[in-house]
Structure 1
Amino acid sequence: MDGSAGNRAVVLGGSITGLFAARVLAEHFREVLIVERDRVLGVREPRRGAPHTVHAHGLHARGHLAVEELFPGLTEELRARGIPTGDLGEMRWYFNARRLRPARTGMISVTAPRPVLEGHIRDKVVDLPNVTVLERHDVLGPVASPDRRRVAGVRVRQRDGEADRVLAADLVVDATGRGSRTPAWLEDLGYRRPAEERVKVGLAYTTRHYRTRPEMFDGVQSINPVASPAHPRGAFLGQVGRDVCILSLTGILGDHPPTDPEGFLEFARSLPVPDVYEAVRDAEPLDEPARFGFAASVRRRYERLERFPAGLLPMGDALCSFNPVYGQGMSVAALQAEALRRHLRTGGRPLPGDLLPRFAGTIDVPWQISAGGDLDFPGVEGRRTLKVRLGNAYIARLQRAASKDAEVTDAYMRVAGLMERPESLMRPRMMLRVLRHGLR
């Protein structure tokens, strides 16, 4: 609130990324405006502008730590409201139909329903004295300086109104997600669009909620048969409240989980392990199955552009939209907010030339994990380098070893939770354990 970075910042989008950005910017701008097309204040249910929020979400390990840094005490507040938390390594994980040996890692996973988590964080952000939310406003486009070297604001229109208005800003943050129009805006302003990297997965996930029974989970927080080339159907069955659980079924390359109740249950029965089907076959459903499609993971390489206007900063899914089955999106958004905070606290100006490379650094490892993992599926379109092929072959053996060795599970979860880099799995001690336990 000290105004060291400017008078006003405008954040486009009031979902998780926008809230994280607003939380940080409120420390350094006199005023922060969040522009959102939906009604969001007080909302704890999935909304039209964010249909993916009905499905399973997780805030794991490194992302959890970053969010706790932004909002101290958040985890305990969620626990008090009945939101499950647990050790990432003690969930029931299956890879290639083999259960990983459970490991106490000390890494926390929060499995709150996405609208509940988002609503709780939003309440904290809007309580800040210099943050205002403009609900039901459409973003029409940026307003540039006469020389087009900087974005000086944004033009908006209230949904039930007729007149446009311009919100002047020292910084405009694009947190509008994978549908971001920043590439088109850049072109309109005379700049180049960023290069894009795509991995086409043809994913869909179908979700249903159930009333939880004590015997469904047998003391674990979630049951996760992870899709693999040999078993391309996957699932997440997890507790999300005191007596509510969520089942999200996943299928790729057009093999999509049905939305009729009978087909949904039959898809669950086709999974390579029986745990999920046996848990829900006689359970009380709380809603009808709902589906969400995800065609491709997309990474936009803004950091490689030679020219970029000052005053505009894309974040979150506007930079990189990950395959959601890896549960990385919220964590990467939190890491970018953390990077933004460090930069501003050391006196840095919020310049794209400084921050876009930093944000790219938060994306590199998660992209390596998710895009590389997807390319292990033969039908997925994308470039398979020698590094990707060798890495996937090694990970398959490591997962096999983790079904026998809890120390391997711990190391693997530290990488999946973004606490360690993938190279940590190649340390001599770990490679010996993989060789010992990972051979067929």
Structure 2
Amino acid sequence: MSGDKTGTRAVVLGGSIAGLFAARVLADAYDEVLIVDRDVLTGVEGPRKHCPQGRHINGLLARGQLAMEELYPGITQEIFDDGVPTGDLAGHVRWYFNGKRLKQQVAGLTCVAASRPMLEKHIRRRTAALPNVSFREQHDILGLVTTADRGRVTGVRVQSLTGGASEETVEADLVVDATGRGSRTPVWLEELGYPRVPEERKKIGLGYVTQHYKLLADPYDGDLSINPVAFPEVPRGAIFTKTDGGRVELTTYGLLGDHPPTDQEGLYAWVKSLAVPDIHDALQNAVPLDEPVAFRFPTTLRRRYEDMDRFPQGLLVTGDAVTTFNPVYAQGMTVAALGALTIRDHLHTGAAPVPAQYFRDLARDVIDPAWEMTNTVDLTFPGVQGERTPQVRAAQVFLKLVQKAATRDGKVTAAYMRGAGLVDKPDAMKRPAFVARVLWNVVCGAVGERLRSRPGPRPGARPGPGTASAAPAGSRSEDLVSAG
């Protein structure tokens, strides 16, 4: 294929959602965009062979939905028109933190309750519709091609997986690696004489199991999903959500090696062990549509390309190939979308992006806030190894107060979910008015619990001054507390 270029070309390694998002923004700046992947991509509607997480819940956070809509105007409605249910992340999801249910309040956070194959199908269809985007399917990616001084990437070496084909070189003005956690860019760079890419790993020992059901009775009462979140005392959690095809999707998980079983009876028993009974009760009126499928995720991983002193021109990395978050927090696809917008920001001059500047902005504006948020939560589990700095401990204390306040106040829930959905920056929850609201609800809740736990007067005893029964009629202690 070398020698047939007539214009500028960008090559995207990997047809994942991150690769599709990247191709979308590159199509505005390059004459040709080519996506290379080992899988068959076009026309595929089910889980792909080389996307093992395609059989499990993949959440798109509210900020990810906004970014997706910005990249593909009208796509959200197209997905809903294809039978995907929706709701509000704070108003129509039944959240349980520390075993306690949060108050629900609509916060303008659109949930797209699509299965991974459904979401991928729509994003791929819209990307493929761009006239300058094409796919090189069922091809293995063998390595990078560079200038003689190895200072610039000029293409990639690929080979067909269908048999009999020889290796070929695809020339490119820009190569974007979107091949996911298994990215070989760190290995290729070392082979080219570049330093080792700094990495940060944290062992979380996550394992989860997914199964789909048809419900014979509706347990949701108007909600979209029921989500009991794992916490140190019960390090097991689940997401039980309506999804496309009139199905319900369950992904239940455990941390630090405590993993759900894949036999049906064992899975039901596991679900019964969750902190709340809602999902187990619902499964009494549900018919399994497939077999339970397991997935293991031992460590989170962050490749700190922003810390490298040298990096070749003509090469960028995006999505899980840069950072793989704890998937429980559903940040991966959203960060991939925001990463594509970061690439776009570095294409606006028409010149090739400068990798060092791109990686700096990606780390500071996209990865850091999400990474710090999930790191704070991961380190609440004593068995997770990592540095618990005074800042981390303070953040954990405040987060627990927020969660406690959210059990009483829907406005706290809405603000919390705007942060968790990456719509608001973490600093939004540090505003004095919000901190005051959190503390007020926590104090009022504590006072209420204390009053409710007081023993009542002895039979026949006369109420004395200051006792609850001495309060004016119609002003029970519970009413006084809730008035706060």
Is contact 2:40-2:137 (8 Å) kept?
yes
Tell me the amino acid that sits aligned with residue 105 of structure 2.
A
Q: 1:230 is paired with a residue of what secondary structure?
A: coil
Q: 2:320 is paired with a residue of what secondary structure?
A: helix
Is contact 1:198-1:382 (8 Å) kept?
no
TM-score (norm 1): 0.97
Cα distance, 1:246 vs. partner? 0.3
Q: 1:438 is paired with a residue of what secondary structure?
A: helix
Cα distance, 1:346 vs. partner? 4.1
Tell me the amino acid that sits aligned with residue 47 of structure 1.
R
Query: Of the candidates 261, 264, 268, which is equivalent to residue 265 of structure 1?
Result: 268
Which residue is 1:79 aligned to? 80
Query: Of the candidates 322, 347, 351, which is equivalent to residue 325 of structure 2?
Result: 322
Q: Check if 1:381 corresponds to 2:385.
A: yes
Query: Of the candidates 177, 191, 194, which is equivalent to residue 194 of structure 2?
Result: 191
Which residue is 2:359 aligned to? 356
Q: 1:94 is paired with a residue of what secondary structure?
A: strand
User: d(CA) in 1 for partners of 2:182 and 2:216?
Assistant: 39
Aligned residues: 435
Is contact 1:297-1:371 (8 Å) kept?
no
User: d(CA) in 2 for partners of 1:157 and 1:164?
Assistant: 5
Tell me the amino acid that sits aligned with residue 70 of structure 2.
E
User: d(CA) in 2 for partners of 1:26 and 1:217?
Assistant: 42
Cα distance, 1:343 vs. partner? 2.5
Q: 2:221 is paired with a residue of what secondary structure?
A: coil
Is contact 2:216-2:285 (8 Å) kept?
no
Query: Of the candidates 274, 277, 282, which is equivalent to residue 277 of structure 2?
Result: 274
User: d(CA) in 1 for partners of 2:290 and 2:369?
Assistant: 36
TM-score (norm 2): 0.88
User: d(CA) in 2 for partners of 1:31 and 1:417?
Assistant: 34
Is contact 1:233-1:252 (8 Å) kept?
yes
User: d(CA) in 2 for partners of 1:291 and 1:215?
Assistant: 26
Tell me the amino acid that sits aligned with residue 30 of structure 2.
F
User: What CA deviation, in whole Å up to 9, does each residue of 1:213-234 have, x standing for no partner?
Assistant: 4522111110000111122100
* 1:148-163 equivalence runs, <5 A: 148-161=150-163, 162-163=165-166
Tell me the amino acid that sits aligned with residue 81 of structure 2.
A
Is contact 2:153-2:175 (8 Å) kept?
yes
Gaps of 5+ in 1: 1-5
Structure number, greater radius of gyration: 2
Which residue is 2:416 aligned to? 412
Is contact 1:178-1:321 (8 Å) kept?
yes
User: d(CA) in 2 for partners of 1:395 and 1:69?
Assistant: 31
Q: Which moved more, 1:425-434 or 1:366-375?
A: 425-434
Is contact 1:195-1:300 (8 Å) kept?
yes
Q: Check if 1:27 corresponds to 2:31.
A: no
Query: Of the candidates 295, 301, 312, which is equivalent to residue 292 of structure 1?
Result: 295
Which residue is 1:126 aligned to? 128
User: What CA deviation, in whole Å up to 9, does each residue of 1:95-146 have, x standing for no partner?
Assistant: 0111110011011111100011001110111111111111110001101110
Q: Which moved more, 1:421-430 or 1:243-252?
A: 421-430
Which residue is 2:94 aligned to? 92
Q: 2:156 is paired with a residue of what secondary structure?
A: strand
Is contact 2:240-2:248 (8 Å) kept?
yes
Is contact 1:145-1:152 (8 Å) kept?
yes
Which residue is 2:304 aligned to? 301
Is contact 2:217-2:286 (8 Å) kept?
no
Q: Which moved more, 1:98-107 or 1:40-49?
A: 40-49
Q: 2:369 is paired with a residue of what secondary structure?
A: helix
User: d(CA) in 2 for partners of 1:351 and 1:435?
Assistant: 46
Gaps of 5+ in 2: 1-6, 447-484
Q: 1:216 is paired with a residue of what secondary structure?
A: coil
Is contact 2:174-2:352 (8 Å) kept?
no
Which residue is 2:47 aligned to? 46
User: d(CA) in 1 for partners of 2:104 and 2:87?
Assistant: 12
Which residue is 1:3 aligned to? none
Quote the RMSD (CA, aligned, Å): 1.2
Cα distance, 1:348 vs. partner? 4.8
* 1:104-119 equivalence runs, <5 A: 104-119=106-121
User: What CA deviation, in whole Å up to 9, does each residue of 1:257-280 have, x standing for no partner?
Assistant: 100001111110000100011111
**Identical columns (%):** 52
User: d(CA) in 2 for partners of 1:371 and 1:48?
Assistant: 31
Cα distance, 1:438 vs. partner? 2.4
Is contact 1:399-1:438 (8 Å) kept?
no
Is contact 2:83-2:245 (8 Å) kept?
yes
User: d(CA) in 1 for partners of 2:351 and 2:90?
Assistant: 38
Tell me the amino acid that sits aligned with residue 244 of structure 2.
G
Query: Of the candidates 407, 430, 434, which is equivalent to residue 403 of structure 1?
Result: 407
Cα distance, 1:287 vs. partner? 0.3
User: What CA deviation, in whole Å up to 9, does each residue of 1:148-194 have, x standing for no partner?
Assistant: 00111100000023310000111110000011111111100000122
User: d(CA) in 2 for partners of 1:113 and 1:212?
Assistant: 17
Is contact 1:199-1:374 (8 Å) kept?
no
User: d(CA) in 2 for partners of 1:214 and 1:27?
Assistant: 48
Tell me the amino acid that sits aligned with residue 120 of structure 1.
H
Which residue is 1:11 aligned to? 12
Is contact 1:398-1:434 (8 Å) kept?
yes
